[in-house]
Structure 1
Amino acid sequence: MSNLARQLQDQQQQQQMPLTEPKRAKARKFWLTPGEMVLGLTFTTMVGFGAVHMISNQSQIYSVNKDIQEIQSSIKEQGKVNDDLKVQVSELSTYERIKSITDKLGLQFNDKNVKVVQQK
């Protein structure tokens, strides 16, 4: 075969076979570099931790405020009880009542033995 025949044969084979180039695997292009991904993950983790920490602190503050209000209400109730007891003491320590009790017990009034005690 001559060189011309060989060229013709090659041309015919090329015309019969469609031109297909081997497909290359497309390289995936990420819009973030690995370093940026690490920084983003670190930042997201820190924000999440901060949010959980803030919610935990708010919960503790709420609990302490609730305890303070309960203690203040119990202090007010105890103050009312104390005021009632002071009134009761003043009613029970009147001169007429003491005089009537001494008369019932047969005791006699002696001015020299009387001592005045005042409450604060």
Structure 2
Amino acid sequence: MALRNYQSEPYIARPSFPEQPPQPKKPAIQKSKIFSKGEKVLFLGLLSIVTVLSLMIVQTQSTVRATTKDISLLEQQIDTTSKENTDLSIQVRELSTYDRIWKKAEELGLKLNEQNVKVVPGQ
């Protein structure tokens, strides 16, 4: 058996299309952050303060409206009581006239005895 002596040549594959020159890479553009961490914390703090103050204002307005409603109800009650008092005082004046009292006394059997009447000076 005879040894065959083969020369090995490296295989170079040649592309079937023409080689394009490498395109220069664009430098990576760093995205600049719109807000830094500190600015975000400040923004969140400001937002929370505004929210709390808004809620306090709404709560205060609600309390003021409730108090105003209570005041108006009390004023209505005062007006009603005042009208009742006025009506009752008019009724007292009507019922306390001399003629009415005299008629009521006669109905109950009282008689006028001028010897028992004493005149009181004054009013």
* Fold conserved between structures, TM > 0.5: yes
**Fraction of identical pairs, as percent:** 35
Over the aligned positions, Cα root-mean-square deviation in angstroms equals 2.6
Partner of 2:106: 103
Partner of 1:88: 91
What's the TM-score, normalizing by structure 1? 0.72
Hey, what's the Cα distance between the residues in 2 that align with 1:111 and 1:28?
Answer: 115
Hey, what's the Cα distance between the residues in 1 that align with 2:49 and 2:100?
Answer: 75
Partner of 1:9: none
Amino acid across the alignment from 2:31: R
2:61 to 33, 58, 69: 58
Hey, what's the Cα distance between the residues in 2 that align with 1:39 and 1:82?
Answer: 64
- What's the secondary structure of 1:16's corresponding residue? coil
Tell me the CA shift for residue 38 of structure 1. 0.3
Tell me the CA shift for residue 28 of structure 1. 3.2
Instruction: Output one character per residue of 1:7-40: Cα deviation in whole Å (capped at 9) or x when no partner.
Output: xxxxxxxx93542567876543212110011001
Partner of 2:39: 36
Stretch moving more, 34-43 or 100-109: 100-109
Partner of 1:74: 77
Instruction: Output one character per residue of 1:17-66: Cα deviation in whole Å (capped at 9) or x when no partner.
Output: 54256787654321211001100110011101111110110011011011
Which structure 1 segments of 5+ residues have no match? 1-14
